Amino acid sequence: MRRVVIHAGFRKAGSTSIQSMLRANAHRLAPIEVHARDDLTEPFRKEAMTYCRTGAPRKLRKARAAAVVMARNCGGGTVVISDENLVGNRIVTERGETIYDLAALFLPMLEEAFSDAEVSFVLYTRDPDKWLRSAYRQDVANGNTAADFETWLGAIPGDLDSEAGIERLRGALKSAIRVVRMEDEAKEALGATVLRLAGVAEEELNRFEPAGRENASLGEAATEFLRQVNALSLGDRPRAQVAELVRRNQKLFGEQM
């Protein structure tokens, strides 16, 4: 029976760093098959993200079909899949679905598609306040809000209690779920749980290139500047160009990249 390890976020909890580590060490992981936010996961990811925005039922049907194609295109050995947007790209949708509700919606589709495999899910969590502030800064950077943090937080319609949310997710899945606090594993090597579940021996872990810090949040001054830019109702393209300039030049705001 093939083994499939699926790392599905959560977003803003070290996902891009883990993916960078997996790509950098793909040659060392062979013959383990590695897919770190790549062409294999793209069709499913896009349907999940579009559903988050629209809530269209047809996107769930398309996501289910994309999961089947994903499973079909994987090999018969051990497979590692890492993509935080397998559960969409929102902490809470406008309809009140939390990231935990979305995970309970989309991850069972993957479990069903890989029904011929031993599936393990890995999810990383983070200190709640730091997680929400990081998610807010990403929403500002992506042009999704012009509100200040307190207003943004107060407008969240869903329950973001992680323990209750993960328990709902456990009830939706039959496969094993490993929940890891990002802060705990960062002391060792971010992504180590994913590697262990894929069968990497302890003595091999020290040979892997560590995860670097990627997709770091904007600093406070840069975030406030972009928040005010978002309120100007610029078109998507010029706003995105300003945001990219800010990302590249955080030192101008007295902040390190």
Q: What is the CATH number of the domain that holds 154?
A: 3.40.50
SS3 198: coil
Contact 105, 68 (CB under 8 A): no
Q: Assess whether 234 and 170 both reside in one domain.
A: no
- What is the mean pLDDT of each successive set of 10 residues along the chain, which is 257 residues long? 95 92 92 96 98 95 98 95 96 90 97 97 94 91 91 85 91 96 87 95 82 70 94 91 91 72
pLDDT at 208: 82
Q: Identify whether 43 is preceded by a cis peptide bond (ω within 30 of 0).
A: no
Tokens 């509100």 sit on residue: 147
Q: Assess whether 208 and 241 both reside in one domain.
A: no
Q: Assess whether 115 and 229 both reside in one domain.
A: no
Contact 168, 104 (CB under 8 A): yes
Q: Assess whether 208 and 226 both reside in one domain.
A: no
Q: Assess whether 159 and 224 both reside in one domain.
A: no
Exposed (0-12), middle (13-18) or buried (19+): which is 183, by Cβ within 10 Å? middle
Q: Assess whether 120 and 164 both reside in one domain.
A: yes
- Tell me how far apart the alpha carbons of residues 100 and 110 are, in angstroms, rounded to a whole number: 15
Q: Assess whether 116 and 205 both reside in one domain.
A: yes
Q: Assess whether 228 and 146 both reside in one domain.
A: no
- Tell me how far apart the alpha carbons of residues 184 and 125 are, in angstroms, rounded to a whole number: 10
Q: Which domain holds residue 230?
A: 218-257
Q: pTM of the prediction? A: 0.89
Q: Assess whether 246 and 206 both reside in one domain.
A: no
Contact 126, 13 (CB under 8 A): yes
Helices (H) and strands (E) in the chain, counts: 13, 5
Q: Assess whether 153 and 234 both reside in one domain.
A: no
Q: Assess whether 192 and 224 both reside in one domain.
A: no
**Overall domain count for the chain:** 2
